[in-house]
Amino acid sequence: MLIKIYAFLLLLQASLCIDLTYYVEEGQNPGSYIGDIAADTHLVNGVPLKDHSLFWFQQLQKGNESSSKLFNISKSGKLYTAQVLDAESLCKYNTECFRMVEVAVRNRESFVKILEIKIIIKDVNDNRPDFQSKEFHLEFSESDMKGTTKFIPNAIDRDVGILNSQLKYRLRKEMSEPFTLSVSRKHDGSTELGIVLEEKLDRELKDSYHVQVVANDGGLPCVLDVSISVADINDNRPVFSQNIYNITVNNGHLIYIPVVILSAKDLDSGKNGRISYYFSTKSSALDISYFELNKTSGELFLHQKFFTEPKKSYKLLIEARDEGIPPLSSTAIVLVNVINQQNNAPDIDINFISLTTNDVASIFEGVKVNSFIAYVKVTDNDIGQNGEVSCELEHDKLQLQSLGKMKYKIVIKSHIDREIDNFLHFTITCQDNGTPPLRTTKNFSIQVMDVNDVHPQFTKDTFKFLIFENEEPNFPIGFINATDPDLDSGSELTYSLLNNQGYLLPFEISNFGFISTTQSLDREQQDVYKFKVLVKDNGTPSLNNTANVVVEVIDKNDNAPYFTFPSVDPFNLDVHYHPQGKNDITALRASDRDSHVNAFLQYEILGGNDKQLFTVNLYTGVLSFSRPVYQNDAGSYNLQFVVKDSGAPVLSATSTLSLTLTVSNKTSKMFTAVHKQSDDKIHINLLIIMLVATVIVALVVVISITVCIVRRNNLRNNQYTSGVDGSKLFSQNNLSEYICGQVVPQYDVPVTVVSEQEHNRSSQSTLLRQDPQLVKKSGQSWKIPPPGTQLPNTMQVAAQDTKTELM
């Protein structure tokens, strides 16, 4: 009965179609455990342990496939690998790799269920990417423009997993090489690689490049060596070694020995650089008839008919032409001088101690004076005076010294500085004593190599900069400029800051000499920074120099003023008033951390002064009584003060002074109501002062006008009585009018009219006190005072007389 119940349960579970999915990595050894089907399907759950052996699990096979069996299943339901699994051979690229296994479950001999088991084979990155070939050749032309792309093969990764087959490419090259790598995806998911040209190429500068394309899938990379050649275009003309060939030959010159070998070079390659020589069509046909030209070698030979002609000089135009399309050419002049004696020009041969590329000699600057740099040997096979040769070298740095007959050495005559001359061009001239004398001239060049012998130099000794406080970090301050005329590493400069002040500098300097802040500056903490800048080159040995830097921090109005007295808010102050005491009560004190106009403080009373009893000095802050104190003024006052700076924007601070005022018994009593009403009117003392001032001003105006009128009349009368020309007094008269015009004050006040009698007395007093210099004496002429002469103060004299008479 129990067995029937078990069978019923198994059939019920089989009807539910339970499937399983397992994962296994490729490459595991045969017999590797994958999973327990019996446990994972829960088919035997609820079945006693002793009856578990009654359930069998068996893999179903399609036909006879034992040879390709991938998995084994034990009777108890455990799943193992049957062989080494290879995802690349079992599955397609970039797809999920899995196999379906059908498992039959039986209870003894009866069928229970068919399980569909999905086993996913996880790809392992066990294949490194690989290019089909290790090397690849590309060709760019000199005419290719920027952006030209040449395609190259991509790498292949045999892994089928998506992640393991994803390749990343990069281009390995020198920084100066003008190429980049282009990576793009095709519609089918494959990668297309290309080498992109970043700038035009010049084959004459460099004709080949070598780069590497590196492919990586996260494991070991693979490398494709790409060699790039530059195809030539015909963009260079042939260039002769010299523009004019001046040749001298005797009339016995052999026809199979070339008179001269023309040499031209073309920087192009192939046909574009292949040169042929021709007689120019502009040459004289008669001159050409005496010569033969080898168009390949450039050798110029004499023709057999040459000796019968009396002409002694010939001018030939030789054209060097390349084979490009279109061909380019250049022309040289060959002057052939024929002499009738067997006399040959000297031949100069020079050997330098050291040679650089392109057969150019070189020496280092700073070489010692009298140092030997070249050996010169002169050859002249003529006999007699025709073979006697003297040579000379004219140069301010080099000297030619004799070592014996026809032998010389070149030595250093004075100090050589590459920063002045990087090439020494000199000419050696040798001349024999024949008739006519033959001369050979050869030009040579010596390259002067650099040594690190010059210190970097700043444009000035001290650099001064200004910066406002509170700027953001990395704010630029200024540029420090230094130069070094040396070459290569000797001219590469590095800047750094030197600080001997004992505090951390809030600045930094770049390798280009730009100084910037590392933090915001506060002028109230420090207003001036002084430090040094060190510049050094990268030569061997390294040379350096320093310059002073002064950074002044400009103030901003970022600090509000604050009261130092009163020191607390509110501040209690007891004041006792006595009539014989001083009016000053106390002095307010305030401070401001800013400077200059931002720290210029002004004091004011904001409130609490309803009786207008107190006043404060705007600038000194002195608090005093603004009027007489009466007994009814005694009491408590809460005075509110404000202190303001003069910056922009204006900042301020307030404080309260609780003042208790007591008065002595001698203080005036309280005013009546009438007195209180008079507070709103003008005080009687002020009224009296205003009236007196008005009278005085009126008197001064009247007296001044009277003095001017009298003086003008006197001058006019003197002019008529003495017969003096009025034009001579023009300047004096104008001066008097100017003085009169200046002494009259310009006030908007009433003018008091003076009686005629007082006016006459005033005029007479004025006449008696005139300066003698202005009165003409007998036998004298008028003299105008020189500029700068102080004129008499007639206004004061007139005023004095008038005052006396009025009294």
DSSP assignment of 224-242 equals: EEEEEEEE--S----EES-
Strand-pairing partners, residue 291, are: 302
Measured in residues, the chain has a length of 807
Q: Which CATH architecture has domain 347-449?
A: Sandwich (2.60)
**Does 11 have pLDDT greater than 60?**
no
Of 290-299, 395-404, 490-499, 737-746, minimum mean pLDDT range: 737-746
User: Which pLDDT score, from 0 to 100, does residue 244 have?
Assistant: 93
Enter the tokens of residue 298: 């450039």
pLDDT grade for 737, boundaries at 50, 70 and 90: very low
- What is d(CA 169, CA 159) in angstroms, rounded to the nearest whole number? 17
User: Which pLDDT score, from 0 to 100, does residue 118 have?
Assistant: 86
Strand-pairing partners, residue 195, are: 150, 181
User: Which pLDDT score, from 0 to 100, does residue 63 have?
Assistant: 58
φ, ψ (nearest 5 deg) of residue 128? -80, 145
Identify which has the larger pLDDT, 678 or 227. 227
pLDDT grade for 802, boundaries at 50, 70 and 90: very low
Q: Are 469 and 529 in contact (CB under 8 A)?
A: no
Enter the tokens of residue 135: 């090397």
User: Which pLDDT score, from 0 to 100, does residue 67 have?
Assistant: 46
Greatest Cα pair distance in the chain: 177
Strand-pairing partners, residue 426, are: 444
Burial class (CB in 10 A: 0-12, 13-18, 19+), 359: exposed
- What is d(CA 314, CA 317) in angstroms, rounded to the nearest whole number? 10
User: Which pLDDT score, from 0 to 100, does residue 264 have?
Assistant: 93
DSSP label of 355: B
The three state secondary structure string of 505-552 is CCEEECCCCEEEECCCCCCCCCCEEEEEEEEEECCCCCCEEEEEEEEE
Closest residue by Cα to residue 277 from 322, 327, 324, 336: 322
User: Which pLDDT score, from 0 to 100, does residue 682 have?
Assistant: 54
Calculate the average pLDDT of the chain.
Answer: 77
Q: According to CATH, what is the number of the domain 562-663?
A: 2.60.40.60
Query: Would you tell me how many other CB atoms lie within 10 Å of the CB of residue 539?
Result: 21
Walk across the sheet containing 98-107 and list its strands: 20-25, 110-122, 98-107, 55-59
- What is d(CA 405, CA 605) in angstroms, rounded to the nearest whole number? 110
Name which CATH class applies to 457-554.
mainly beta
| pLDDT tens by residue, 189-245 | 678 889 999 998 888 888 899 999 998 877 778 899 999 998 888 888 899 999 999
What is the average per-residue pLDDT within 562-574? 87
User: Which pLDDT score, from 0 to 100, does residue 491 have?
Assistant: 77
The answer to whether domain 239-337 and domain 457-554 are alike in fold is: yes
Name which CATH class applies to 135-230.
mainly beta
User: Which pLDDT score, from 0 to 100, does residue 524 have?
Assistant: 82
User: Which pLDDT score, from 0 to 100, does residue 448 have?
Assistant: 84
Q: Are 158 and 209 in contact (CB under 8 A)?
A: no
Q: Which CATH architecture has domain 239-337?
A: Sandwich (2.60)
| pLDDT tens by residue, 550-561 | 998 888 877 889
- Residue 696, H or E segment: helix 684-722
- What is d(CA 573, CA 637) in angstroms, rounded to the nearest whole number? 10
User: Which pLDDT score, from 0 to 100, does residue 690 have?
Assistant: 87
pLDDT grade for 308, boundaries at 50, 70 and 90: very low
Q: Are 565 and 550 in contact (CB under 8 A)?
A: no
**Does 790 have pLDDT greater than 60?**
no
**Does 103 have pLDDT greater than 70?**
yes
User: Which pLDDT score, from 0 to 100, does residue 739 have?
Assistant: 35
Identify which has the larger pLDDT, 299 or 168. 299
Of 72-86, 444-458, 647-661, 673-687, minimum mean pLDDT range: 673-687
| pLDDT tens by residue, 366-394 | 788 888 888 899 988 676 787 889 999 98
Q: Are 337 and 313 in contact (CB under 8 A)?
A: yes
- What is d(CA 632, CA 634) in angstroms, rounded to the nearest whole number? 5
DSSP label of 186: -
Percent of the chain with pLDDT over 90: 14
pLDDT grade for 90, boundaries at 50, 70 and 90: confident
Identify which has the larger pLDDT, 746 or 719. 719
Q: Are 802 and 710 in contact (CB under 8 A)?
A: no
| pLDDT tens by residue, 478-499 | 899 888 887 777 778 888 888 8
Q: Which long-range contacts (CB under 8 A, 24 or more apart) does 768-777 make?
A: 769/794, 769/797, 769/798, 769/801, 770/711, 770/714, 770/794, 774/715, 774/732, 775/718, 776/718, 776/722, 776/724
| pLDDT tens by residue, 711-728 | 878 766 664 444 434 333
Locate tokens 């700068």: which residue?
A: 788
Q: Are 171 and 181 in contact (CB under 8 A)?
A: yes
| pLDDT tens by residue, 587-630 | 989 988 878 888 888 999 998 898 898 999 998 989 999 888 88
- Residue 401, H or E segment: strand 398-404
pLDDT grade for 305, boundaries at 50, 70 and 90: low
φ, ψ (nearest 5 deg) of residue 703? -60, -40
What is the average per-residue pLDDT within 536-558? 85
Of 85-99, 130-144, 450-464, minimum mean pLDDT range: 85-99
Q: Which CATH architecture has domain 18-121?
A: Sandwich (2.60)
Q: Are 28 and 81 in contact (CB under 8 A)?
A: yes
Query: Would you tell me how many other CB atoms lie within 10 Å of the CB of residue 18?
Result: 14
- What is d(CA 749, CA 695) in angstroms, rounded to the nearest whole number? 9
Write the Ramachandran bin of 686: left for phi over 0, alpha for psi from -120 to 50, otherwise beta.
alpha
| pLDDT tens by residue, 242-282 | 999 998 887 667 778 898 999 999 888 888 889 999 999 88
Walk across the sheet containing 439-449 and list its strands: 361-364, 439-449, 423-432, 389-393
The three state secondary structure string of 405-420 is CCEEEEEECCCCCCCC
Strands (E), 217-289: 222-231, 239-240, 244-250, 260-261, 264-265, 275-279
User: Which pLDDT score, from 0 to 100, does residue 163 have?
Assistant: 65
Burial class (CB in 10 A: 0-12, 13-18, 19+), 677: exposed
Q: Are 704 and 740 in contact (CB under 8 A)?
A: yes
Q: Which residues, other chains included, contact 17 with Cβ-Cβ below 8 Å and sequence gap of 6+?
A: none
3 state DSSP class of 629: coil
Identify which has the larger pLDDT, 614 or 44. 614
Q: What is the pTM of this model?
A: 0.35
- Top mean-pLDDT range of 254-268, 307-321, 675-689: 254-268
> Domain extents for the chain?
18-121, 135-230, 239-337, 347-449, 457-554, 562-663
